[in-house]
A and B are shown apart, each in its own frame.
Chain A
Amino acid sequence: MKKLAVALMLLAATPAFAADPSEMLKDPVLEKKAEDLGHELRCLVCQNESIEDSNADLARDLRVIVRERIAKGETPDQVKQYVVDRYGDYVLLKPPFKITTLVLWLGPFALLVLGALAAFAVFRRRGAAATQTQSAPLSAEEKRRLDALLKDNGQ
């Protein structure tokens, strides 16, 4: 009985959307465009949420304006530019690739390459050191002593 109740409740549960159904565009293609764009735009109030996910008033306003512009026939890039013109690159959850963000984008890879080079250098040196000790032949004197020792042991 309890299990049935839980199952029924789960059935009734739908994913939460911040976007009010009344805000959504009638045309599902345009609505999809607006949603995809909205997921890339940062809510300026809650900062780590996109405007699609946020319940803040400002996020709601931006959702409405994004949809208005999409419905008017603007491309998502044009609408994105409209928002960036007002709020800067900060509003983009994914920072753009340009001179000032070069370190941000390439830094991790640069560190990875640096680490790989360092590891390569260290391992190669160790390998070289190991083969060197192996290949050093015994001198005649060493051989004689080794034989003597082995003989002693055999007795």
Chain B
Amino acid sequence: MRRLLYLLPVALFGVLALFFLKGLTMNPRDIPSVLINRPVPEMNLAPLPGRGEDTGLATADLKGRVSLVNIYGSWCIACVQEHPYLVKIKQMGIVPIHGIDWRDDPAEGAKWLKKHGDPYDRVGVDPAPGRTAIDFGVTGAPETFVVDKAGIIRYKHIGPVSQDVWENTLLPIIKELSK
């Protein structure tokens, strides 16, 4: 019995080591969002130039059906990586994607969409200091929010959307919310 007591520090060390090992495999960029299950913030963003009838993005635009809100910017490198997949999602016609052109010159944002394709239904411009992005708790671009029919944020994905993220994470949530 006494012998076992001497093993206690070793056991404690083992537990700590397990926690640290787990920590090594976690992504420090995945900061849990406090906005999950809260309504989308109040916003009324101006449209991008040259997008036809788009009137920008307002809170009311996110009610009525499940939608994605994607934060992007013409300065954002990882956005270039995810963009072709967003265009693909648009072609599937399952869910509308709205864009927020964050901390960007609207002219640049529009030019960037011409170059890389335009998957968005509506685009709102959020110039520095990016009040709407901060209301969304954005930590960097790209980020993608799933918003339900009532305009409540249900999920936040940090980083580029890929086929894997779409099929295994976003699509199941969208299907569940669309019921």
Residues of A within 8 A of B (CB): 44-45, 47, 57-58, 60-62, 64-65, 84-88, 90
15 more A-B contacts (CB under 8 A) besides A44-B140, A45-B140? A44-B31, A44-B139, A47-B28, A57-B103, A60-B129, A61-B103, A61-B134, A65-B134, A84-B34, A86-B35, A86-B135, A88-B32, A88-B34, A88-B137, A90-B31
Per the bound structure, the CA–CA distance linking A21 and B103 in Å amounts to: 21
Which chain B residues lie closer than 8 Å to A58 at the CB level? 130, 138-140
Q: Contact flags (1/0) for B110-129 with A, using CB distance below 8 Å?
A: 00000000000000000011
Q: Which of B103-162 contact A (CB under 8 A)?
A: 103, 128-131, 134-140
Determine if B34 and A86 form an interchain contact, defined as CB atoms under 8 angstroms apart.
yes
7 A-B pairs with least C-beta separation: A61-B129, A44-B139, A88-B34, A86-B137, A64-B129, A61-B130, A87-B137
Per the bound structure, the CA–CA distance linking A85 and B137 in Å amounts to: 9
Per the bound structure, the CA–CA distance linking A63 and B152 in Å amounts to: 28
Determine whether B33 belongs to the interface, using a CB cutoff of 8 Å to chain A. yes
Determine if A62 and B134 form an interchain contact, defined as CB atoms under 8 angstroms apart.
yes
Per the bound structure, the CA–CA distance linking A86 and B139 in Å amounts to: 10
Q: Contact flags (1/0) for B13-45 with A, using CB distance below 8 Å?
A: 000000000000000100111110000000000
Interface residues on B, range: 10 to 19
Which chain B residues lie closer than 8 Å to A60 at the CB level? 128-129
Per the bound structure, the CA–CA distance linking A41 and B38 in Å amounts to: 23
Instruction: Pull 14 A–B residue pairs with CB atoms less than 8 Å apart, ordered by A.
Output: A45-B139, A45-B140, A57-B103, A58-B130, A58-B140, A61-B130, A61-B134, A62-B129, A62-B134, A65-B131, A85-B34, A86-B136, A87-B31, A88-B31
Which chain B residues lie closer than 8 Å to A90 at the CB level? 31-32
Per the bound structure, the CA–CA distance linking A10 and B162 in Å amounts to: 51
Smallest CB gap from A115: residue in B: B9
Total cross-chain contacts (CB, 8 A) = 44
Which chain B residues lie closer than 8 Å to A62 at the CB level? 129, 134
Determine if A61 and B34 form an interchain contact, defined as CB atoms under 8 angstroms apart.
no
Smallest CB gap from B138: residue in A: A58
Which chain A residues lie closer than 8 Å to B31 at the CB level? 44, 87-88, 90
Per the bound structure, the CA–CA distance linking A111 and B31 in Å amounts to: 29
Per the bound structure, the CA–CA distance linking A127 and B32 in Å amounts to: 53
Q: Which of B33-62 contact A (CB under 8 A)?
A: 33-35
Determine if A88 and B139 form an interchain contact, defined as CB atoms under 8 angstroms apart.
no
Which chain B residues lie closer than 8 Å to A84 at the CB level? 34
Which chain B residues lie closer than 8 Å to A61 at the CB level? 103, 128-130, 134
Smallest CB gap from A44: residue in B: B139
Smallest CB gap from A64: residue in B: B129
Best-buried of A45, A64, A87 by chain B (most CB within 10 Å): A87
Known: A58-B140, A64-B129. A86 touches B134 (CB 8 A): yes
Closest chain A CB from B7 CB (angstroms): 13
Smallest CB gap from A82: residue in B: B134
Which chain A residues lie closer than 8 Å to B33 at the CB level? 88
Per the bound structure, the CA–CA distance linking A84 and B31 in Å amounts to: 13
Determine if B130 and A87 form an interchain contact, defined as CB atoms under 8 angstroms apart.
no
